[in-house]
Chains A and B, each alone.
Chain A
């Protein structure tokens, strides 16, 4: 069965950096686009970034463009999110998700909590 396991969350100071990882199993990782979606506590869902199956195309939400970078290593079945110049409003649970029809979210990980605070 499909499994997505995020890691790398934690507490970071404003202006700092963090890298999230998402380890995938149960499907051919290199055949599918992947996403990051976040959710602040008690709030709704916000799409963050997408990367195509081969890593050649990426899309970002305006709120993270220029600060976050999505990447993948198909040899390791792993998705990444490099988060730089972080802000308090980046505090959220971050989910990785496997794409269906490119841009719907078929399977989700359990999420990793990121807190930006001094």
Chain B
């Protein structure tokens, strides 16, 4: 199965700062990578699919890039509601797999 490694595990930032999250795949997933945000006690929410496509209703401060094995989620200017855990997920190969998550904390 494809292993997704997210870094860093924790990102400590302040509101207004730029966040850069990384996801590296153990083999190429082409552009078939998504990003999700999860807050405590809530279900995950889709942010980005197929590497760079924002999901419905997602603010423009969230952007995704990358292809092959290296991907990045960028939050251009952190809002208070953006502090959460972020997961990447590949759909290139079954079984579908998730990364271990990056916590963005204040």
Residue A110 CB within 8 A of the other chain: yes
Give chain B residues whose Cβ lies under 8 Å from the Cβ of A108.
Answer: 43-45
- CB distance B100 to A105 under 8 Å? no
Q: Which of B43, B46, B91, B98 contacts A44 (CB 8 A)?
A: B98
Number of interface residues of B (CB under 8 A): 23
- CB distance A104 to B34 under 8 Å? yes
Interface positions of B (Cβ within 8 A of A): 1, 32, 34, 36, 38, 43-46, 49-50, 55, 87, 89, 91, 94-101
- CB distance A106 to B55 under 8 Å? yes
Docked complex Cα distance between A108 and B87 (Å):
14
Known contacts A44-B101, A46-B98, A47-B97; A104/B49 CB under 8 A: yes
Number of interface residues of A (CB under 8 A): 23
Q: Mark A88-107, 1 if CB is under 8 A from B, else 0.
A: 00000001000011111111
- CB distance A44 to B50 under 8 Å? no
